[in-house]
Amino acid sequence: MSGADGDSGRQVVRIVGFLVFLVVALIFYFLLLGRIAIDLMGSGKPAAIAMGVGVLILPILGVWVVATSIRAALAHQHLARRIHDEGLELDTSQLPRRPSGRLEKAAADELFEQVKKEWEADPDNWRTNYRAARAYDYAGDRTRARETMRRAVALERAERNRED
C-alpha cells in the first residue's frame, strides 16, 4: 500500500467513524426528545400537547435532513471516484488563485465557458454534467452546481441500471 493509499484509508475510517458518531448521537437525541415529548403530551394541557408534537417532529425532520445529506454526499463521492478513475477531473492546478485559495473569478469563468461547451455537446452524459457542476461551483454559482450535480447523479444511476 502506498502512502497515498494509506492516507485515503485513514480518511475513510475517520469519515465512517464520524458518521457512526452522528448516528449514535441522533439516536440518543431522538430517544431523549421522544421521552420529553411523551411527558409533555401526557400532561393533558393543550399548549404542552402542541409542544410535545413539535418536539417529536423536529428530530424526525433532523434525521431526514441528515440522511438526505449523507446520501447525496455518498452519491457525489461515487461520481468523483469514477471521474478520477477515468481521468476526467477538471485540472485547476495551473489556474490563478486568490489568497484564500479559491480560483480567481476570471479564471473560474473561463473554465466554466470551456466546460459549458463540452456539456452543450453532450448534455445527457453524467460525466459532462458532473464537470459542469464542478465548474459552476468554481465559478461561485452554488445553486446551479447543486442542480447540475443532482442531474449527474441521476444520469449515472440510469447508466448503471442499463448496464445491469
The domain ranges of the chain are: 8-66, 105-163
Place of cell 466554466: 112
Query: Alpha-carbon distance 49 to 140, whole Å?
Result: 45
For the ranges 11-15, 71-75, 102-106, 147-151, the lowest mean pLDDT is seen at 11-15
Residue 15 has pLDDT above 90, yes or no: no
Query: Alpha-carbon distance 139 to 142, whole Å?
Result: 8
Burial class (CB in 10 A: 0-12, 13-18, 19+), 6: exposed
Per-residue pLDDT reduced to its tens digit, 60-103: 888 888 889 889 988 999 999 999 999 999 988 888 999 988 89
Return the sign of the alpha-carbon dihedral for residues 41, 42, 48, 52: negative
Is the pTM above the cut of 0.75?
Answer: no
Q: What CATH class has 105-163?
A: mainly alpha
Residue 10 has what pLDDT?
80
Q: In whole numbers, what is the pLDDT of the chain averaged over residues?
A: 88
Query: Alpha-carbon distance 26 to 34, whole Å?
Result: 12
H-only helix segments in 43-141: 46-85, 105-121, 126-139
Instruction: Categorize the per-residue pLDDT at 7 as very low, low, confident or very high, splitting at 50, 70 and 90.
Output: low
